[in-house]
Structure 1
Amino acid sequence: MSGTNNRDIRWIFVLLAAYFTLQVGVRLATSHSLDLDEAEQVFRSQWLAAGYGPQPPFYNWLQYAVFQFAGVSLAALSVVKNLLLFIAYLLYGLTARLILRDKALVAVATLGLLTIPQMAFEMQRDLTHTVAVFFSASIFFYGFIRSLKQPSLASYLIAGIGIGFGLLAKYNFAILPAAALIAALSDARLRPRIFDWRLVLTAAVAFVITLPHLFWLKDNLDFATARTLEKMTASGHASYPAQVAMGVSSLALATLSFAGLTVAVFAIVFGRSLRPALTVGSQWTRLLERMMLVFLVGILFLIVFGGAAGIKDRWLVPMLFLLPLYFCLKIEAAGVATERAFRRFIVIVAVIMIGVPAALYGSVAAARFTGHYERLNRPYATMLESLRKQAEPAAILAGDSLLAGNLRQDIPGVPVLSVDYPGFHPDLTGRRPLLLVWLLPKGGSEALPPDMAEWLQANLGASAPEALVIDAPYFYRRGDDRYRFGYAWVNQHP
């Protein structure tokens, strides 16, 4: 065995810990403003609920708990996300170590996750529920492989925790344990691990974890699934064959955008030895192939029988996160020498580890040269500071959840409501003045938005107040570029 193979793999986890710590630092240095998913977490952490809408509540519960202890802040948001990602990578590495003998390939499999754009870049940029899916999938997959290789009460318990968390993270997670079950059942040597009394423990743990949300789901099924179904089935008035064609082509595109870079990196790193390696197999490669196939069939069922027309690449996380490990298992089965390939791979990983934080920061900071502004360039805090000099709001009504979350971050003691989310309605009796704030698109009307006027009439019996405009300089602005907000004060009387 080469020196690389004998090297302990703990260095991978030290490297990843440093990388995710760097990501927290970069996020805090980039902008104080919040993006869509971040703002949603801050807004919805004002109350605890068994369900919040189209996404299950795992991430909301976790973030709520952290805010209770650490206070509402961008740091608390960023640390939670990067800690979840670090634990997911750690468990992925431990899973790889269970079924790969070559330590260099364990490192390649684990760090290979960074070659997936949706996981390395998109999860850092703004995803939350998808991060929770990846975290849960890593827990489940570790428990699943351990139950097959070194079965114990703990391994079945870990698999159950992963399933419970996963179902609370995103509903489409359910296809992963189903795929794993079918894949293991179709291998005679692995079947006894499924027909094991400890599987009852797996099911029981998953059931107990999801129980509070299941009660909520029973009464709110339409509310929970409507938006996802709407996104999936957005095929306009296309005929059935056209809808299926749209679904299949969106799945092919999603798979390509998810897996393309990883395939390219492995092709560069392993060169000519990769193609013959793909024809070799082992018990573990066959298991993963069956899992990915069942997952794929599950999505095809959604397209053919469920009317799904638009499959998003991030929905493939519970299936395609297996890809780096799958390639490494193939390479090991083929007996490919890894020393030179490993050195090449580390260079690519170093480029990614420097490039991703730089791109995340650069996409916002470059606005001072380009004049192209992202959501993180918007000056929510500056605007709120100016308005608080006029009067101290006792409650705030925002035009949408993005604005609501951003406002709450800077005034955590005041209830912030959003017109687009009717699920939060604290008692506003005696809370005055009420501040109304909304975003003003370029060239749009400066009048009070009709939905805000309706909300005021329906909830407070108040007539529309005078609409005013405030602007504040963008973060990383070019020249004196400013962003405009509409606002109004309601001196609400009990």
Structure 2
Amino acid sequence: MPAILVQSPVSRIRTFVSEYPALLFVLVYFAFQVFFLTMISNGAGVDDAEQLAYVGALQWGYGGSQPPLYTWINSVAGSVLGIRLFTIYLVKFGMLASLFASVYFGARLLGLPRAVAAAGMVGIFMLPQIAWESQRTLTHSVGGTTGCAWAFLAFAWHLKSRSWRSAALLGLAFACGLLGKFNASFFLIALILAGLSIPAYRSVLLSRKSVLSAVVFIAAVTPTGLWALAHTENLLARTHKFEMNAGGQLLISRLHGEWKLFLNSILFAGVALVFFLMAWWRSRAQRISRPRDWMDGEKLIARVLIFALGGVFIGVLISGAAEVKDRWLQPMLFLTPLFLSAVLGRAIESDLPLKRFVVVGAICGLIVIPGLAVNILYARDGKAPSIGQLDYARLFAVTRADGNYQTVVSDGPQLPGNLRLFDNSINPVHLEMPNAVSHIHFPALFVWFGEDVNPVVMNLMSSAGVAASPAEIKRISLSYKYYPDKTDAVSYVIVQAR
């Protein structure tokens, strides 16, 4: 009987390091960010505070036109690890790590060389909206882009496996993409169209197993779809940001929207494009005179990008959206570095340009660490420091000294979410929550920014059957960490019972 070789843990680690150095860099990078940002953060910013306000409330949908996947994951993590900043950061950076890893393994399953897959993965750090904005503030955009990356990986695996299990996971991954961010639908449709356009993949997608993918997908998204139909006011709460047919100018708004799409697509991938062109120019002497034909996997990646942008172009044309922000393009363009890496890999004899691409991507990622720390601790938005650095601990101590409360009500999630860091049992309520008034339980703290009476909070209070006179309103001045001379006024009322 032949001897069975058993690797020791140290040998396995060495093997992993030697075979997947780029992947190891990504995993260590995001693990470091979890602990580093938890250590230096004083409180949550706007998007993370919204998550803190929803953690623990597993629902089919939420307010603010946002899909539920990211909040579901935070809720599950919060039930295990507690409601704290560490949990919020662990979810965000864990999802970003899985995004990068999905791109790498998806590329390998499509038959792309290891060097191309590594460059396409680490090259994502050259996309500022992912490398910077996703780490700094975004939440649902992270969920949507990560869901699309999972769909890309599941798609590549199904093309290779062609099993019933891979078909089921493909349907689930597509559902994750859509439930992560609704604009992920452009990528998901593009992925299907790109697959159908390639004969070798078409036969897989048109097989009986695709019926299972469709069934799993429909089963996963239907509850949220029904919820959205029943809560259209919440679903459409932020559609004004698209500025559809702004000013009644049907043609002008569409032209402006298409221009913003073109401009922001270039800006989104601009850093990666610059370094790609530099690598292309520097390697002109090593270019293959007659590059090989495009592999099916390379064709798929190129066509996904083309079809996704084409879908957005048509969407702008139909809707009349005059605004297309660069961060909205994350789910459509996150594969850009992988495509650029594939072009370098097929046209240049040496792997050196790809290695340089990896190094530049890694440097871009490393630059973000101190930049993000400075932004969190010291940066100012206009005249105000980061809202996450406000002294929420003092607000909690002062309001608790004035009276007990189980619900915190405000016009936005910033104050309820951050107060929850000091008492996980707090029931947060804010305007964008569906059926917000029904969630108000007494005793309750009604709190808002500013010294003047807040009409939104007063309306929530009135709808809950409570009337407060100006004399009952108390005010506190909160300072910012590292900016003690800068303060914000916060007003509040504690209502013991109706």
TM-score, with structure 1 as normaliser: 0.89
Is the Cα contact below 8 Å between 1:274 and 1:331 reproduced in 2? no
Instruction: Map 1:12-31 onto structure 2 (within 5 A).
Output: 12-31=22-41
**Distance (whole Å) between structure 1 residues aligned to residue 19 and residue 284 of structure 2:** 23
**Partner letter of residue 374 of structure 1?**
S
* Cα distance per residue 1:443-462 (max 9 Å; x no partner): xxx23212222322221232
Establish whether residue 316 from structure 1 lines up as the match of residue 329 from structure 2.
yes
Deviation at 1:245, TM superposition (A): 1.0
**Partner letter of residue 336 of structure 1?**
E
> Hey, what does 1:485 align to over in structure 2?
490
* Cα distance per residue 1:17-49 (max 9 Å; x no partner): 110011112221232211121111111225322
Deviation at 1:238, TM superposition (A): 4.4
Establish whether residue 287 from structure 1 lines up as the match of residue 300 from structure 2.
yes
**Distance (whole Å) between structure 2 residues aligned to residue 203 and residue 274 of structure 1:** 46
Distance 1:109 1:372, change over 3 A: same
**Distance (whole Å) between structure 2 residues aligned to residue 96 and residue 412 of structure 1:** 42
**Distance (whole Å) between structure 2 residues aligned to residue 108 and residue 126 of structure 1:** 26
Instruction: Map 1:124-273 onto structure 2 (within 5 A).
Output: 124-224=135-235, 226-273=236-283
**Distance (whole Å) between structure 1 residues aligned to residue 18 and residue 165 of structure 2:** 25
Establish whether residue 354 from structure 1 lines up as the match of residue 391 from structure 2.
no
Is the Cα contact below 8 Å between 2:234 and 2:432 reproduced in 1? no
Of 7-16 and 28-37, more deviation after overlay is shown by: 7-16
Give the length in aligned residue pairs: 477
> Hey, what does 2:109 align to over in structure 1?
98
Deviation at 1:106, TM superposition (A): 2.2
Helix, strand or coil: the match of 1:190?
helix
Deviation at 1:372, TM superposition (A): 4.8
Of 52-61 and 348-357, more deviation after overlay is shown by: 348-357
Of 33-42 and 175-184, more deviation after overlay is shown by: 175-184
**Partner letter of residue 36 of structure 2?**
V
> Hey, what does 1:443 align to over in structure 2?
none
> Hey, what does 1:84 align to over in structure 2?
95
Helix, strand or coil: the match of 1:460?
coil
**Distance (whole Å) between structure 1 residues aligned to residue 202 and residue 237 of structure 2:** 38
Question: Of the candidates 35, 49, 55, which is equivalent to residue 59 of structure 2?
Answer: 49
Distance 1:396 1:464, change over 3 A: farther
**Distance (whole Å) between structure 2 residues aligned to residue 61 and residue 114 of structure 1:** 26
Distance 1:330 1:375, change over 3 A: same
* Cα distance per residue 1:184-221 (max 9 Å; x no partner): 22233332122211111211121122122122123234
Deviation at 1:422, TM superposition (A): 5.0
Deviation at 1:279, TM superposition (A): 10
Distance 1:21 1:139, change over 3 A: same
Superposition CA RMSD, Å:
2.6
**Distance (whole Å) between structure 2 residues aligned to residue 404 and residue 161 of structure 1:** 33
* Cα distance per residue 1:383-427 (max 9 Å; x no partner): 222222233334322232222211222222132222453523456
Is the Cα contact below 8 Å between 2:288 and 2:347 reproduced in 1? yes
Helix, strand or coil: the match of 1:164?
helix
Unaligned 5+ segments in structure 1 are: 1-5, 441-445
Of 122-131 and 288-297, more deviation after overlay is shown by: 288-297
Deviation at 1:373, TM superposition (A): 0.7
Instruction: Map 1:292-371 onto structure 2 (within 5 A).
Output: 292-339=305-352, 341-367=353-379
Question: Of the candidates 415, 425, 430, which is equivalent to residue 427 of structure 2?
Answer: 415
Is the Cα contact below 8 Å between 1:143 and 1:157 reproduced in 2? no
Percentage of identical aligned residues: 26
Instruction: Map 1:453-492 onto structure 2 (within 5 A).
Output: 453-465=458-470, 466-477=472-483, 480-492=485-497
Deviation at 1:303, TM superposition (A): 1.4
Deviation at 1:366, TM superposition (A): 2.6
Helix, strand or coil: the match of 2:162?
coil
**Partner letter of residue 470 of structure 1?**
I
Distance 1:215 1:234, change over 3 A: closer
Distance 1:394 1:284, change over 3 A: closer
Establish whether residue 35 from structure 1 lines up as the match of residue 45 from structure 2.
yes
Unaligned 5+ segments in structure 2 are: 1-15
**Distance (whole Å) between structure 2 residues aligned to residue 91 and residue 409 of structure 1:** 32
Is the Cα contact below 8 Å between 1:278 and 1:331 reproduced in 2? no
**Partner letter of residue 457 of structure 2?**
M
**Distance (whole Å) between structure 1 residues aligned to residue 191 and residue 496 of structure 2:** 59
**Partner letter of residue 116 of structure 2?**
L
**Distance (whole Å) between structure 2 residues aligned to residue 308 and residue 356 of structure 1:** 32
Instruction: Map 1:441-456 onto structure 2 (within 5 A).
Output: 446-456=451-461
Distance 1:134 1:454, change over 3 A: closer
Is the Cα contact below 8 Å between 2:409 and 2:440 reproduced in 1? no
